Amino acid sequence: MPGQRNMADIMLVAILFSSLSLAAPPVVSSSDAKCPDSNGARINTSNGTYIVECGIDRKDDDFAAVFTSSYGECVDLCASTRDCLQVSYNPGNPGSCYLKSGHGFANIDSTIWGAKQDDGTSSKISTCPESDGTQYRAFGNIFQVECGVDRRGGDIGPQIYTNFVGCIEACGAHPDCVDVTLSGAACYLKNNLTTPVFDPTFWGAQIIGTYDKQATQVSTTFVAPLPTASGSRCPDQNGTIVTRSCGSRYQVECDVDRFGNDLHVGPYDVYSLDSCIDKCDKTTGCKDISWQPGNPGPCYLKSVAGTSYQPFDGRTIWAARQLNGCSTTLVPQTVQASPTATVTSTAN
């Protein structure tokens, strides 16, 4: 979770998400798109529309790093590559183009030119009180606007600075967030729904359901989030067996570290033990994980559950040992690079 912002960072985030909420965002070709001029513009491709995000790096979910001659070539490559939903481009000669399979949390980095695929389902939000009760869709979650409502407590890390749309999208991208409160430009992400406090100076929004971004099928039944890093796994559930939605099973091991056998990926910065387990489920050859609680904290994926040790250097380590993998077959991700692109094994 980002910490306090300086004024330049605040302005950058405000400009980004204000442009995303305009009724008629500009459309540019991939060859003409550039930062900062095209920020918030749409790029129409053969595989959907991408939104230009200048100064935003949505970390994690990298599956390839490709050298391209331009930002537009990076976006076009993503559009022609299976499972690619966003890019982070670091301008250069050539530039580094990182292809990503998910929409991660927006991190401020003025050196990065980003683009994310637009699923076309997000409704428009104006201001409160006009938008009270309006629904907004982001990252598979359906939010309902609650003007004049603050649900106090349950804050996830320090506040970030953005506008209302940016606040909601930040929550949608966070695996543990179920509610947001915006006070001025300060956005607070929350991991539980507390009793509402009515104050006209606050703008709120809570998750009321989910939707399938591919089939656009909507479920209006609230789906509880995964347990958070604040204590719902360790120490209370030490030794218990957790069954995941794909059929995999893990045994929770609090204050245990199994040294060595790290896979040559990561470590990943995640916000909960469950998020670390999700990374393992999606990674071929992963049999065990170690997570150091943080906001976020590093997640280490391992090829085998080795000898267990109690952390000796004062660190807190939560582990989970896989008992069986997913019952459904995972399709490996592949990259269809253009003939002129050079694929490397580095990750952003």
- Quick one: how many helices (H) and strands (E) in the chain? 4, 23
Tell me what pLDDT residue 303 has: 92
The C-alpha atoms of residue 113 and residue 111 are separated, in whole angstroms, by: 7
**Token code pair at residue 174:** 């966070």
Largest interatomic CA distance in the chain:
59
Phi-psi region of 187 (alpha: psi -120 to 50; beta: other; left: phi over 0): beta
Residue 3: which of 159, 110, 108 has the closest Cα?
159
What's the mean pLDDT in 249-253?
Answer: 91
Tell me what pLDDT residue 180 has: 92
Rounded to whole angstroms, what are the CA distances from 154 to 179, 190, 193, 251, 318?
A: 9, 5, 8, 27, 22
Give the CA count within 13 Å in the CB-facing half-sphere of 15. Answer: 19
Query: End-to-end CA distance of the chain, in Å?
Result: 17
Q: Is residue 8 pLDDT above 60, yes or no?
A: no
Q: Is residue 312 pLDDT above 80, yes or no?
A: no
Tell me what pLDDT residue 328 has: 61
Tell me what pLDDT residue 348 has: 40
Which single residue is written with the structure tokens 């790029």? 43
The C-alpha atoms of residue 254 and residue 275 are separated, in whole angstroms, by: 16
**Token code pair at residue 265:** 């990926």
The C-alpha atoms of residue 5 and residue 329 are separated, in whole angstroms, by: 43
User: With DSSP H G I counted as helix, E B as strand and the rest as coil, what are the percentages for the chain, rounded to 5?
Assistant: 10, 40, 50
| Domains defined along the chain, listed by start | 7-118 (3.50.4.10), 135-219 (3.50.4.10), 241-324 (3.50.4.10)
Percent of the chain with pLDDT over 70: 74
What's the mean pLDDT in 188-207?
Answer: 87
Tell me what pLDDT residue 119 has: 60
What's the mean pLDDT in 135-139?
Answer: 78
The C-alpha atoms of residue 321 and residue 84 are separated, in whole angstroms, by: 30
Q: What is the pTM of this model?
A: 0.41
Which single residue is written with the structure tokens 């509402």? 196
CB 70 within 8 A of CB 128: no
Task: Phi first, then psi: give them for residue 269, nearest 5 degrees.
Answer: -85, 115
> Out of 33-37, 274-278, 296-300, 336-340, which region has the weakest mean confidence (pLDDT)?
336-340
The C-alpha atoms of residue 110 and residue 286 are separated, in whole angstroms, by: 34
Q: Is residue 23 pLDDT above 70, yes or no?
A: no
Mean pLDDT comparison of 70-79, 197-206, 219-228, 255-264, highest-scoring range = 70-79
The C-alpha atoms of residue 338 and residue 102 are separated, in whole angstroms, by: 21
CB 116 within 8 A of CB 85: yes
Buried b (16+ CB within 10 A) or exposed e, 76-106: bbbbebebbbbbbbbeeebbbbbbbbbbbbb
The C-alpha atoms of residue 163 and residue 184 are separated, in whole angstroms, by: 8
Q: Is residue 347 pLDDT above 60, yes or no?
A: no
Question: pLDDT tens across 27-40, in order?
Answer: 899 999 999 888 87
The C-alpha atoms of residue 75 and residue 111 are separated, in whole angstroms, by: 17
What's the mean pLDDT in 213-233?
Answer: 39
Q: Is residue 268 pLDDT above 90, yes or no?
A: no
CB 289 within 8 A of CB 257: no
What's the mean pLDDT in 8-24?
Answer: 42
Residue type, 310: Q
The C-alpha atoms of residue 158 and residue 337 are separated, in whole angstroms, by: 39
**Token code pair at residue 259:** 């040294």
Residue type, 132: D
> Out of 122-131, 232-241, 281-290, which region has the weakest mean confidence (pLDDT)?
122-131
DSSP H/E element including 183: strand 179-183
Buried b (16+ CB within 10 A) or exposed e, 157-166: bebbbbbbbb
Question: pLDDT tens across 25-80, in order?
Answer: 688 999 999 998 888 788 998 888 898 888 888 777 788 888 999 999 999 999 98
Sorting pLDDT into bands at 50, 70 and 90, what band is 179? very high
Residues 6+ apart with CB under 8 A from 121: 137, 211, 213, 216
